[in-house]
Structure 1
Amino acid sequence: MNQLKPTTRTEAADACIEILDTDFFRALCEPARIQIFRVLVLQGRSDIGSIAQAMPQDRSVIARHLQTMERAGLLRAQTEGRHTYYQIDGPTIAARVQRISALIQALVPLCCAVPDS
């Protein structure tokens, strides 16, 4: 994000697109990835075999989803021998959500309807 506090509508529009048109949100738009996220919440750190047991998709499809989620900053991967273990990257997700919230709060006075009190 180039500017945390945009001062014009053009800057606000550019900031919105920059933060919303990202791999982070695209990775969350796929139902199978949401299900993988759920599995990792329930199981904790897991390899593809244990994730695949809880999913209807083939392991190769799950592997591609896991790679996408890792690239987007949702997961961390650690290889140990022949196994790669995945876990949710909570600190990175929390920091991203905090930045998004701060940007939206900065946008409100520039472009958004504010309910009457």
Structure 2
Amino acid sequence: MCSQPNIASTAFLIADPARANMLMALVAGRALPAGELAYAAGVTAQTASTHLAKLLDGGLVTVEAEGRHRYYRLSGAHVALVLENLAAIVPAGEVRRRPLGRDAQNLRFARCCYDHLAGQVGVAVTQALQQRGFIVAAQDKRFDVTAAGLDWFGHIGLDMNQLRATRRGIARQCLDWTERQHHLAGPLGVQFMSALCTNGWMRRVNASRVVQVTPAGWAGLKAELGIEGRLGALTQEA
């Protein structure tokens, strides 16, 4: 009897283009009905139902009934992490690509990675936190929060005493699939994203993974972390 995990069956489920599109549509962390997932995958409602049944059986998604409607979501952040890491795998060498459209540019610039900030803005913020000594890269793809970091996160509204570390720690490094660099994830990343939205620095776009930086957010990012920017271009003070 084989004692190895059955990676092949999970890989098979993700490998289908329609199912992969459904899963990526759920990376934003929101629950979506089958109709929206069928549209994202470019398939009929009947075909989508078949795909979703397989994803449910494979443990990649969960479903919640609300009246006559059924809403699907990823079964956890661990699935989002796998999808983001797979998306970061690219062939060696330069690959010619078409110029990004506006929607793709927005998604690359700032987006939510399941429940934390990603994209160019997410990476820039993470690097600024490191440069200011608020977080420090540690082993096993973790970030340690320094004493100065505890004070700073508390200053912008996080209750650090309420954070509960997972088996992977309170903060971890998540490889950004568009930038090929790490951004902040884990319980700290989740609450940090929540605080940015509560403070009015960021806003999530409905029915999208896109995150917008508000005028107040740009002012706050400049004052607190030395980050200035606009779509496609960021500058950062040392």
TM category (shorter chain) comes to 0.5 to 0.7
Q: How far is the alpha carbon of 1:38 from its aligned partner?
A: 1.0
1:31 matched to 2:31? The reply is no
Q: Does 1:78 align with 2:64?
A: yes
Distance 2:24 2:70 in 1: 18
Distance 1:21 1:29 in 2: 10
Q: Which residue of 1 aligns with 2:73?
A: 87
Normalized per residue, the structure richer in helix is 1
CA distance in 2, matches of 1:21, 1:54: 25
Cross-structure match for 1:60: 46
Unaligned 5+ runs, structure 2 = 83-238
Q: Which amino acid aligns with 1:15?
A: S
- Aligned-pair distance for 1:29? 2.1
Rounded to whole Å, the distance in 2 between the matches of 1:93 and 1:46 is: 16
Runs (4+) of structure 1 moved beyond 3 Å? Answer: 91-94
- Determine if contact 2:26/2:74 at 8 Å carries over to the other structure: yes
Q: Is the partner of 1:15 in helix, strand or coil? A: coil
- Structure 2 counterpart of 1:20, from 1, 4, 7: 7
Task: Work out the CA distance in 1 between the residues paired with 2:47 and 2:68.
Answer: 19
Higher strand share: 2
Does the aligned pair in 1 maintain the 2:55–2:61 contact within 8 Å? Answer: yes
State the one-letter code of the partner of 1:78. E
Evaluate the alpha carbon distance shift between residue 43 and residue 93 of structure 1 in structure 2; reply closer, same or farther with a 3 A threshold.
Answer: closer
AA at the equivalent of 2:7: L
Higher-Rg member (1/2): 2
Contiguous gaps of at least 5 residues in structure 1: 1-10, 97-117
Distance in 2, matches of 1:91 and 1:50, equals 21
Query: What CA distance in whole angstroms lies between the structure 2 residues aligned with 1:73 and 1:27?
Result: 10
Shift of 1:92: 6.2
Say whether the 8 Å CA contact 1:77–1:87 is kept in structure 2: yes
What TM-score results when the alignment is normalised by the length of structure 1? Answer: 0.57
Identity of aligned residues (%): 25
1:31-66 Cα distance to aligned partner (Å, 9 max, x none): 111111111124721001222232321011011111
> Is contact 2:60–2:79 with CA below 8 Å preserved after alignment?
yes
Distance 1:54 1:31, change over 3 A: closer
Q: What's the RMSD between the two structures over aligned residues?
A: 2.6
Aligned positions, number: 81
1: CA distance between counterparts of 2:38 and 2:15?
A: 20
Asked which structure has the greater RCO (Cα within 8 Å, sep 6+), the reply is: 1
**Alpha carbons 2:34, 2:71 under 8 Å: kept:** yes
